[in-house]
Amino acid sequence: MNKTLIIILIILALGLIAYNVTLVDFEAPFQGDSTIALIGILASLCAIVLLLIFMTSKKIDKKIKDN
C-alpha cells in the first residue's frame, strides 16, 4: 500500500471518530445510539493503530532490504 493511501485512511478514521463523538450522549453513554457511537470510536482507533503498525513494518522491511 502506498504511504499516501495510508495517510488518507488515517484521516478518514479521524473523521469517523469526530463524527461519532458528536453522537455520544455523555449523560448516558452506554444506552441506545451512544453505545453504537462508542463502538465506532473504538473501531476507528483500532484501524488507526493497525495502519500505524503497518507503516512501521514497511519501514523496517525497507531497512532490512537495503542492508
Give the C-alpha separation, 31 to 44, whole Å: 20
Q: What one-character DSSP code corresponds to residue 30?
A: T
Per-residue pLDDT of 3-60, as tens digits, reads 999 999 999 999 999 999 999 999 988 898 899 999 999 999 999 999 999 999 999 9
40-43: long-range contacts, CB 8 A cutoff, minimum separation 24? 40/16, 41/17
C-alpha to C-alpha distances, 40 to 12, 21, 45, 48, 63, nearest whole angstrom: 13, 9, 9, 12, 35
Give the C-alpha separation, 52 to 43, whole Å: 14
Residue 65, pLDDT > 90, answer: yes
Q: What is the pLDDT of residue 52?
A: 97
**pTM higher than 0.75, yes or no?**
yes
Q: What is the pLDDT of residue 39?
A: 96
Q: What is the pLDDT of residue 41?
A: 97
